[in-house]
Amino acid sequence: MLEVTCNDRLGKKVRVKCNPDDTVGDLKKLIAAQTGTRSDKIVLKKWYTVFKDHIKLSDYEIHDGMNLELYYQ
Amino acid sequence: MGSKKHKKESKKKKHRSRSRSPLDGEERERKRHRKHKDRKKDRSPDVEEVPVDSHLVKDNGVRSRSLTDSPPREPRPRDDVYRDSRSQESSEASAPAGGAAHESLSVAETNKLRAKLGLKPLEVAEKQADDGKIKDDLGEFYHKPAANIAQQRKADKLRERLDERREKRLMESKLQTALLADESDGEDASAWVRKSRDQEKQKREAAKRAAMLDEMDAEFGVGALLADERRSERAAAYAPQHLRGLRVAHELAALPDERDTVLTLADKELLADDAEDVLVNVNLLDDDKYRKNIVERKKARAGYQAYDEEAELQAALGFARPVLAKYDDEIDAGAAGRSKGFRIGDDDAIQAQRFRDMMRAERLAGGPDRRLESLALPERRIASDYLDEHEVQAKFKKFKKKGKIRKKPKQEPIDVDEHEAGTAPLHTDDTDVKPEQFCAAPADEDDAELDTELQAALARARRLRQAEQAASRVPKVEEILQVSKAEPAEEEPAEDSAMVLDATAEFCRTLGDIPTYGLAGNRDQRAEIMDFDREETDAEPEAEAAAGAWSRVDVHSERPAELGAGGAGLEAEPALGAGVAGALRLALSKGYLERAGAPPRPARAPPALAAHYSIEDKAHEDDKHGRRERGYAGPLSDFREKTNFRPSIKLEYVDDDGRPLCAKEAFRYLSHKFHGKGPGKNKQEKRIKKAQQEGLMKKMSSTDTPLNTLHMLQQKQKETHSPFVVLSGAKREPAN
């Protein structure tokens, strides 16, 4: 279980607990549940690296405590 | 500047994510947050600062609720609505989820949310401090902790000290001797002086007593007896059998037989465990050492020998095959020494050793076979260009033929006395070789045939020469005549019934009548000359009468028999005579000169042409081509400019390949032709490439890209019936 912080620099900053083998899509759902946006509107990035929905967090090497950038499409 | 910050941040983040430090998780977060003070600038004012591990604190929910009330909610009305709706649904436990999205949910809340979303619950992370082991990034393997070098060193030192102490203890226990220091009873100097004086006195008294006893012994003569007795005692006490079993380190063979060798106890380590005494001779030891050193030096010089003949020989003889013999001393010092040597009194072993040596010697000698092959190759000799006698004989062996069927008679020397004169088989030819001679020897040997051919050729040559000589002699003419007369006369009676058909005769018959036959007197030049002289003298009075009389030879002369030779119309070429007459005759015979009465030739005909040919046939021409004045190149009419002539000049130049050229290229082409030098290879290739490029340019489509992108776009638009095309590569999720 790891906890990831998602920040959109406009006031929304959430800390989401998830499993390492969750996909990014699942993470987006969790974020959406916490922030209130729609999950398919969320884009998670890390400095031009867009995290794709079907890939696991562990494959992206997203560890506990990492900060992800939250954008909207 | 901002970008640099981003870079720094991202870099640092990367490093941190891969670290294996034990400070993981929350501690790291704490540290990071402490350090990055500039992050405050990025934070928008309405984002509240919440410590990272606030969710672990029990009063999370309380605090959060108190905090979340303060910040304004206006900028996000939509979210608020959403959250409010959700918060209505959720229970009090999920209030933080509905109230503030900035916090994180607890594990239970998250699990509930996950269950709602259809995800499996959270895996609670187990504590890593099982054994102090550190997992790698993927959590699959445990890393081996690095070896602590300081600890290793400490352990080594400790071990060394322990070993030293142990050894000391051992040595002390062995050397249990009475120390001088222990002996003294703590007396002072005067006591020691007194003791030493007493000892001296006793010694003196003992010496005196011994002297007195000796005197007494000498008086009684017991001294010698006693000495003998003592010797025998000593001898009995230490006899050769006491030496039985002692080891001698040298071979029995090494000890010299004639002399007595003194053996001493070999040096032995004090603390060595094996208590056996070994006897050695000092001299022999030295010899051994010396020999060994020599050998070692030789071996060291030689280095590594893959094919050590000595070692192989020794192995063959039964000695142990040494492996890396030159390290024997270092590896196992005692092994070599222990093997050799013998024990005193151990006769069996000595005999066995002798037996073994004998066997070795036998094996060396080669056994009953005595066939040791040596690897010495036959010594080399310089190759010679010439064959030896032996080689010659071997190479060129003459085998006797089975049976010589033919024997050359020529081989035997002709004995003159044997044959009669005149009938000796002279193998020289005479002038007239009769054809019978050839027919008479049908079964000649090959050699004889060859010889006869040669002889025949020689005979022919001789004959010709003689014939020439005969021809040169004038009176021989009659002879020849007679011969020629004789020959047909000879032959005719022989064959009067049959008709002889000769090819030459037939040919000449078919030739037909030659008009000039007989006119030209080409029978015999001498005869002719003679004839001519005679005729000239006769014809002088008739010179005016006959016009070409000098050119005519009287046929009806007294020379009819000349025609008898074959009767052919072909005569030999009349030889040119010395003067004009001969030339004229020749010309006449050839037909260059005409007789009187020949038809006149047309004047224009060249004299060398044939007689029947008339040039008029060739010269006759009716056409216009013939009437043109050949050779005239000037203007025929006046030159006038054409008034209405407006030429449309189109200078089109074409390449060798058929491509049209522009003026520049045309000029270049012309220059090449003019100077005779074309462009070089590079230039040619350039032109070829240019031409290819032009071809491609002509082929390409002007409306579309090379990959037909526009066309594809239009197709897609047609399919989707929309004016636009969405460019995205992301996998689309099914809408929730």
State the DSSP string of B202-260. Answer: HHHHHHHHHHHHHHHHHHHTHHHHHHHHHHHHHHHHS-GGGGTT-EESS-TTTS-SSS-
Q: Which residue has the higher pLDDT, B128 or A12?
A: A12
Q: Using the predicted structure, report yes or no on whether residue B132 has a pLDDT greater than 90.
A: no
In-domain check, residue B252: yes
- Residue B502 DSSP code: -
Task: Give residue-wise pLDDT tens across range B414-425.
Answer: 565 655 555 545
Q: Using the predicted structure, report yes or no on whether residue B209 has a pLDDT greater than 70.
A: yes
Both tokens assigned to B296: 């070692």
Q: How far apart are CA B518 and CA B557, in angstroms?
A: 11
In-domain check, residue B207: yes
Give the pLDDT confidence score for residue B96 in this predicted structure. 45
Both tokens assigned to A40: 């398919």
Q: How far apart are CA B669 and CA B677, in angstroms?
A: 10
Q: Using the predicted structure, report yes or no on whether residue B451 has a pLDDT greater than 90.
A: no
Most confident of B64-68, B644-648, B687-691: B687-691
In-domain check, residue B449: no
Give the pLDDT confidence score for residue B429 in this predicted structure. 53
Are A38 and B124 an interchain contact pair (Cβ–Cβ within 8 Å)?
A: no
* Long-range contacts, B410-417 (Cβ 8 Å, 24+): B410/B447, B410/B448, B410/B451
Q: How far apart are CA B494 and CA A13, in angstroms?
A: 152
**Which residue is associated with the tokens 């209505």?**
B88
Q: Using the predicted structure, report yes or no on whether residue B558 has a pLDDT greater than 60.
A: no
Q: Are strands A13-18 and B278-280 parallel, antiparallel or unpaired?
A: unpaired
Residue ranges covered by each domain of chain A: 2-72
Task: Give residue-wise pLDDT tens across range A12-62.
Answer: 899 999 999 999 999 999 999 989 899 999 999 998 899 999 999 999 999
CA dihedral B115, B116, B118, B120 (to 10 degrees): -20
Give the pLDDT confidence score for residue B727 in this predicted structure. 83
Most confident of B60-69, B366-375, B456-465, B524-533: B456-465
Q: How far apart are CA B321 and CA B314, in angstroms?
A: 7
Q: How far apart are CA B333 and CA B518, in angstroms?
A: 134
Q: How far apart are CA B104 and CA B63, in angstroms?
A: 13
Q: Using the predicted structure, report yes or no on whether residue B157 has a pLDDT greater than 70.
A: yes
Concatenated DSSP letters for B392-427?
Answer: HHHHSPPPPPS------GGGSPPPTTTSPTTTS---
Q: Using the predicted structure, report yes or no on whether residue B647 has a pLDDT greater than 70.
A: yes
Q: Which residue has the higher pLDDT, B276 or B691?
A: B691
Please give the tally of structural domains in chain B: 3
Q: How far apart are CA B311 and CA B320, in angstroms?
A: 9
For the residues B711-733, what does the mean pLDDT come to? 85
Q: Using the predicted structure, report yes or no on whether residue B180 has a pLDDT greater than 80.
A: no
Q: How far apart are CA B731 and CA B736, in angstroms?
A: 15
Interface residue of A3, A42, A49, A53 to substitute, partner B, most B CBs within 10 Å = A3
Give the pLDDT confidence score for residue B586 in this predicted structure. 85
Give the pLDDT confidence score for residue B313 in this predicted structure. 76
In-domain check, residue B358: yes
Are A17 and B47 an interchain contact pair (Cβ–Cβ within 8 Å)?
A: no
Give the pLDDT confidence score for residue B167 in this predicted structure. 94
Q: How far apart are CA B545 and CA B507, in angstroms?
A: 39
Of A61, A31, A65, A67, whose CA–CA distance to A47 is shortest? A67
Q: Which of A9, A14, A65 sits opposite B101 (nearest CB)?
A: A14
Confidence of residue B315 (pLDDT cuts 50, 70, 90): confident
For the residues B44-54, what does the mean pLDDT come to? 59
**3 state SS of A56:** strand
Integer CA distances (angstroms), B238 to B241, B277, B347, in order: 8, 17, 20
Task: Give residue-wise pLDDT tens across range B71-110.
Answer: 444 444 455 544 544 444 444 444 444 444 456 788 888 8
Give the pLDDT confidence score for residue B439 in this predicted structure. 46
For the residues B57-68, what does the mean pLDDT come to? 48
Give the pLDDT confidence score for residue B650 in this predicted structure. 85
Are B79 and A36 an interchain contact pair (Cβ–Cβ within 8 Å)?
A: yes
Give the pLDDT confidence score for residue B440 in this predicted structure. 46
Q: How far apart are CA B114 and CA B102, in angstroms?
A: 18
| Residue B641: CA count within 13 A, CB half-sphere | 4
Q: For all residues of chain B together, what is the average pLDDT? A: 73
* CATH value of A2-72 in 1.20.5.510, 3.90.870.40, 3.10.20.90, 3.40.50.720: 3.10.20.90
Are A11 and B46 an interchain contact pair (Cβ–Cβ within 8 Å)?
A: yes
Q: Using the predicted structure, report yes or no on whether residue B699 has a pLDDT greater than 60.
A: yes
Q: Using the predicted structure, report yes or no on whether residue B434 has a pLDDT greater than 60.
A: no
Q: How far apart are CA B626 and CA B301, in angstroms?
A: 113
Both tokens assigned to A24: 């990014």
Of A52, A53, A34, whose CA–CA distance to B82 is shortest? A34
Q: How far apart are CA B280 and CA B265, in angstroms?
A: 6
Q: Which of B55, B137, B733 sits opposite A15 (nearest CB)?
A: B55
Q: For all residues of chain A together, what is the average pLDDT? A: 91
Of B532, B631, B635, B630, whose CA–CA distance to B579 is shortest? B532
Q: Which residue of A has its CA nearest to B3?
A: A47
Give the pLDDT confidence score for residue B602 in this predicted structure. 58
For the residues B245-253, what does the mean pLDDT come to? 84
Q: Which domain holds residue B201?
A: 195-238
Confidence of residue B158 (pLDDT cuts 50, 70, 90): very high
Integer CA distances (angstroms), B254 to B279, B315, B318, in order: 14, 22, 20
The terminus-to-terminus CA distance of chain A in angstroms comes to 28
In-domain check, residue B122: no
Chain A partners within 8 Å of B83 (Cβ): 36
Give the pLDDT confidence score for residue B87 in this predicted structure. 47
Q: Which residue has the higher pLDDT, B507 or B20?
A: B507
Rg (CA), chain A: 11
Interface residue of A2, A12, A17 to substitute, partner B, most B CBs within 10 Å = A17
Most confident of B44-58, B272-286, B687-701: B687-701
In-domain check, residue B253: yes
Of B105, B95, B31, B106, whose CA–CA distance to B68 is shortest? B95
Q: Which H or E element spans position A67?
A: strand A67-72
Give the pLDDT confidence score for residue B721 in this predicted structure. 92
Task: Give residue-wise pLDDT tens across range B453-496.
Answer: 888 888 898 998 888 887 766 555 666 667 666 665 554 444 45
Q: How far apart are CA B451 and CA B586, in angstroms?
A: 45
The percentage of chain B sitting over the pLDDT mark of 90, rounded to a whole number, equals: 13
CB A30 within 8 A of CB A19: no
- Spell out the alpha helix ranges (H) of B406-524: 435-440, 446-472, 476-494, 503-511
Residues 54-113 of B with CB under 8 A from A: 55, 75-76, 78-79, 82-83, 86, 97, 101-105, 107, 110, 113
Last residue of a domain, one of B362, B377, B401: B362
Q: Using the predicted structure, report yes or no on whether residue B662 has a pLDDT greater than 60.
A: yes
Task: Give residue-wise pLDDT tens across range B380-395.
Answer: 888 888 888 888 888 8
Confidence of residue B66 (pLDDT cuts 50, 70, 90): very low
Of B57, B68, B105, whose CA–CA distance to A33 is shortest? B105
Both tokens assigned to B377: 């190759």
The percentage of chain B sitting over the pLDDT mark of 70, rounded to a whole number, equals: 54
Q: Which residue of B has its CA nearest to A46?
A: B10
